[in-house]
Amino acid sequence: MTVHLALEASKLWRKICVEASIEVSLLAGSWKYILAGVVFQYIHGVAAQGIHYLHRPGPTLQDTGYFLLQELGEDKAYVSETVFSLIFFSFVLWTFHPFVYQSKRIYTVLIWCRVLAYLVACQFLRIITFYSTHLPGPNYHCREGSKLAKMPPPERLVEVLLMNFSKGVNYGCGDLIFSSHMIFSLVFTRTYHRYGMARFIKISAWLLCVIQSILILASRKHYTVDIVVAWYTVNLVTFFIDRKLAELRERPSGIMSPSLLPLSSKEEFQRLVNGNYVGITH
C-alpha cells in the first residue's frame, strides 16, 4: 500500500513539474497581459474606494426587486457572499486543474489571459457608469445615519491609493451600476461554459448566478438595475471580445514528459518552450 501511494505521488509530482514547465513557457510570452490585468484590478479597487468619498446617503430609491423580494436582514448578508465565494474559488481551482488531471483542454495561463481581458473591459465600463451618476447606496451601512455611509475627504493622495481591501469589499458605498460581484460570476460562468466539459457543472453555474442575483437584491447590496445591466453588459462584452481575439486552441491530450511524447506533441511542446505559442493571440 505504501509503495503504491509512493508511486502515485511520484507520478503526480512528475505531472505537476511537466505542466509547470509548459505554463512557465506560456507565461514568458504572456506575462504582460497577466500583469496588465492584475494592475487593473488594483485600479478598479482604487476607483471603487474613490466613489465612496463622493457618496451621499439618501432615501433608498424605488426598486422593483425590492417590492418583490423580502429583505434578508443585515445579519444574513453573508448568504450572498457565500454563494459568490463558491463560484469564485471553484473557478480558480478549475483553472489550475491541468496541473493534476490527465484529461484537460485548457492552458492555465492562456485561460487567465482571456478572463482578465473580460474583466478589464467590464470593469472599465463599470467605473465610467458609477462615476457618471452617484446613487444613494441601498446597503445597510450606506443608509442615512450610518457612520460608514460617508468617508471624510482624504488629506493626502496616498490615502486614496493605499486602499483598504477588506473594508472596500465589505463596506463600500456608491459603486453601484453595475454589480462587480455579477461581473466576476458571469465571466467565470461563461468561461467555464465555453471551455469546461461537465454539463452538470455548466447548468449549476448558471443557476448559481441566478440565485446570487436574487440574494444580492434580497440583501439590499445593489438595485435591480445594477443586476440587469451586469447581465447584458458582461455577456455582450465577452461576446465581442471573443470575436476579436483568436480562439484558444485546445491542448493535445496526454502530455506527460517531453522525452515520452509522440512526435506531434513534442513539436507542440517545443513551440511552447520556444515562445512561439504566445498569449491570447495564437
At 223, list the grid cell: 438595485
Question: Amino acid identity of 41?
Answer: Q
55 is catalytic: no
Question: What are the CA-CA distances from residue 55 to residues 51, 119, 217 (Å)?
Answer: 6, 24, 20
Task: Give the whole-angstrom CA distance, residue 168 versus residue 182.
Answer: 17
Catalytic residue among 4, 226, 242, 282: 226
Closest C-alpha to 99, from 29, 33, 34, 23:
23
CB atoms near residue 137 (< 10 Å): 28
Quick one: residue 174, left, alpha or beta (phi over 0 = left, psi -120 to 50 = alpha)? Answer: left
Of 232, 207, 64, the closest CA to residue 138 belongs to 64
Q: Determine contact, residues 179/215, Cβ cutoff 8 Å.
A: no
C-alpha distances (whole Å) from 51 to each of 6, 126, 173, 243, 265 are 55, 12, 7, 33, 51
List 44, 52, 55, 181, catalytic entry: 181
222 is catalytic: yes
Helices of type H across 74-107 = 78-95
Considering the candidates 44, 222, 242, 282, report the single residue annotated as catalytic: 222
Query: Is 181 part of the annotated catalytic residue set?
Result: yes
DSSP of 149-166: S--PPPSSHHHHHS--HH
**Catalytic residue numbers?**
181, 222, 226
